[in-house]
């Protein structure tokens, strides 16, 4: 295949009479076909019979979107400018946390976490800042800076966003989940991670005042009859456990939810950082849940994370220590052998874990805000997740076409239920029509 910049150049030369926007669309389509099929510019354009813009675009769209071209409206195809820079590539290294710089606000210096960080990372450069907002004003953000985020730790007192309803998305069936925000940023490198397009801080942010928020006046989840208890969880803007050996947040969280058994609390993770949880011992309402995937997808996309058997062994240990567990098939990624790959993961879960300990399994197909596409192709140039046909949906997100999603959900739902009928299975971010079509 040709490099992105070569494709742009060759498109401009071949179609010199096209304007900027047309060049943008055509070079984007040629790049995506060339990458997916491992072919080059000339092989693709030599097949096109005419140089008329509409003919060229129609030919390329049909080739790029063979399954959906005739099924969906033409504005479903998202064709942003092609702009891939080598220096934006993700740095795939061991997810070991050893920050060079610790930025802190004055109000945290008496906190447990600040003093623990001082003793754990005594060689780091400690810098007082007025506020995160003021720091961001004077320090720009870029993908390259994001790639080095593990070098910077921010310690702040969280004022507003500790506990809130899950933001979910428009026009979907919301499961009334609530979020306890225990940090921002992650050391893993999942190719599909939404944080890489959402986060505007090149560092990890940890709150120093978590204990202030662990009280029943502040933690007020909404009920949902589908689950055994109203649900609160962490893991929206970070992996819930990846920093737990550093923060020891689980000390306060487990203590609080052991005393408040009418609420379930979920630690959502891909990590095996469970030593502190094991020491503390669990209760049924405290659910440790793992994001899982087909093993090929873990290998190709969840860079620097523990493998599937390691995650499942950690789940077994948590059950022995008194916790419940959950699993999230999210995102489900379409690839050649997806049925076989996801079946094997479902089989493996039930080989390791007795279904009576599983409080829920969620399933959600790959989706993303459209702007994330450019970030992914810059950071993970060789990714294959963008090769499938992702279409612009009603809410501006890219998703697989509806009938494909329904096919995936039916398959997953049936496979899981064939293992254990009693385990609650729910869809994340899907509308009522899709929910109804899988039952």
Q: Measuring CA to CA, which residue among 108, 73, 5, 48 is closest to residue 65?
A: 73
Nearer to ligand SF4, 189 or 401 (CB): 189
Based on the shown chain and the rule CB under 6 A, indicate whether residue 229 belongs to the binding site for ligand SF4. no
Residue 204 sits at φ, ψ, to 5 deg, of -105, 130
CB of 221 to ligand SF4, least distance (A): 11
Nearer to ligand SF4, 193 or 408 (CB): 193
CB of 186 to ligand SF4, least distance (A): 3
Nearer to ligand SF4, 257 or 290 (CB): 290
290-300 core/surface letters (b: 16 or more CB in 10 A; e: else): bbbbbbbbbeb
Taking CB under 6 A as the criterion, which residues in 399-428 touch ligand SF4? Answer: 428
Whether the bond between 204 and the residue before it is cis, its omega within 30 degrees of 0, is no
The stretches of 3-40 forming alpha helices (DSSP H) are: 4-14, 20-37
* Rounded Cα–Cα distance for residues 257 and 214 (Å): 9
Contact 203, 153 (CB under 8 A): yes
Nearer to ligand SF4, 188 or 409 (CB): 188
93-123 core/surface letters (b: 16 or more CB in 10 A; e: else): eebeeebeebbbbeebeebbbbeebeeebee
* Rounded Cα–Cα distance for residues 137 and 134 (Å): 5
Nearer to ligand SF4, 31 or 177 (CB): 177
Nearer to ligand SF4, 195 or 201 (CB): 195
For residue 1, give the DSSP letter. Answer: -
Based on the shown chain and the rule CB under 6 A, indicate whether residue 386 belongs to the binding site for ligand SF4. no
Binding mask 340-369 for ligand SF4 (x = CB under 6 A): ------------------------------
CB of 125 to ligand SF4, least distance (A): 25
Among 41, 177, 265, 400, binds ligand SF4 (CB under 6 A): 177
Q: Measuring CA to CA, which residue among 188, 111, 100 is closest to residue 152?
A: 100
Binding mask 179-218 for ligand SF4 (x = CB under 6 A): -------x-xxx--x-x-----------------------
* Rounded Cα–Cα distance for residues 172 and 426 (Å): 12
Contact 201, 141 (CB under 8 A): yes
How many of the chain's residues bind ligand SF4 (CB under 6 A)?
A: 15
Nearer to ligand SF4, 171 or 215 (CB): 171
Binding mask 145-174 for ligand SF4 (x = CB under 6 A): ---------------------x-x-----x
Based on the shown chain and the rule CB under 6 A, indicate whether residue 175 belongs to the binding site for ligand SF4. yes
CB of 15 to ligand SF4, least distance (A): 39
Q: Measuring CA to CA, which residue among 73, 77, 57 is closest to residue 370?
A: 77
CB of 168 to ligand SF4, least distance (A): 3
Bridge partners (DSSP) of residue 144 are: none
CB of 195 to ligand SF4, least distance (A): 5
Contact 410, 438 (CB under 8 A): yes
* Rounded Cα–Cα distance for residues 57 and 347 (Å): 44
CB of 422 to ligand SF4, least distance (A): 21
* Rounded Cα–Cα distance for residues 73 and 179 (Å): 36
Nearer to ligand SF4, 190 or 334 (CB): 190
List contacts with ligand SF4 (CB under 6 A): 166, 168, 174-175, 177, 186, 188-190, 193, 195, 239, 270, 428-429
């Amino acid at each position: 295949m040709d490099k992105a910049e070569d494709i742009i150049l060759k498109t401009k030369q071949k179609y010199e009479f096209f304007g900027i926007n047309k060049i943008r669309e055509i070079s984007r389509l040629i790049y995506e076909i060339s990458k997916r099929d491992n072919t080059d510019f000339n092989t693709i354009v030599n097949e096109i019979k005419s140089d008329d813009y509409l003919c060229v675009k129609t030919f390329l769209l049909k080739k790029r979107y063979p399954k959906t071209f005739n099924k969906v409206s033409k504005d479903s195809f998202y064709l942003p400018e092609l702009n891939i820079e080598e220096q934006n590539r993700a740095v795939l290294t061991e997810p070991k946390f050893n920050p060079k710089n610790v930025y802190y606000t004055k109000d945290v210096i008496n906190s447990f976490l600040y003093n623990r960080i001082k003793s754990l990372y005594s060689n780091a450069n400690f810098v007082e800042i007025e506020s995160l907002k003021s720091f961001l004003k004077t320090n720009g953000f870029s993908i390259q800076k994001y790639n080095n985020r593990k070098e910077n730790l921010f310690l702040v007192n969280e004022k507003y966003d500790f506990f809130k309803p899950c933001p979910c998305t428009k026009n979907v069936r919301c499961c009334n989940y609530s979020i306890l925000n225990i940090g921002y940023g992650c050391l893993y490198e999942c190719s599909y991670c939404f944080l890489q397009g959402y986060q505007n801080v090149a560092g990890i942010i940890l709150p120093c005042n978590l204990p202030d928020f662990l009280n029943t006046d502040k933690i007020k989840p909404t009920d949902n009859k589908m689950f055994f208890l109203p649900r609160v969880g962490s893991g929206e803007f970070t992996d819930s456990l990846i920093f737990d050996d550093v923060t020891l947040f689980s000390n306060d969280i487990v203590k609080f939810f052991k005393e408040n058994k009418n609420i379930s609390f979920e630690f959502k993770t891909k990590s095996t950082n469970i030593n502190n949880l094991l020491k503390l011992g669990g209760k049924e309402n405290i659910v440790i849940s793992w994001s899982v995937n087909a093993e090929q997808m873990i290998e190709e996309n969840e860079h620097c994370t523990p493998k599937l058997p390691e995650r499942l062994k950690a789940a077994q240990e948590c059950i022995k220590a008194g916790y419940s567990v959950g699993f999230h098939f999210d995102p489900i990624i379409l690839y050649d052998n997806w049925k076989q790959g996801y079946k094997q993961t479902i089989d493996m879960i039930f080989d390791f874990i007795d279904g009576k300990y599983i409080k829920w399994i969620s399933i959600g197909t790959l989706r993303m805000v459209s702007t994330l596409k450019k970030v992914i192709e810059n950071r993970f140039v060789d990714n294959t997740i963008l090769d499938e046909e992702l279409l612009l949906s009603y809410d501006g997100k890219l998703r697989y076409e509806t009938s494909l999603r329904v096919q995936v959900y039916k398959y997953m739902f049936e496979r899981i239920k064939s293992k254990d009928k009693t385990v609650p299975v729910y869809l994340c971010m899907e509308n009522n029509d899709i929910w109804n079509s899988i039952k």
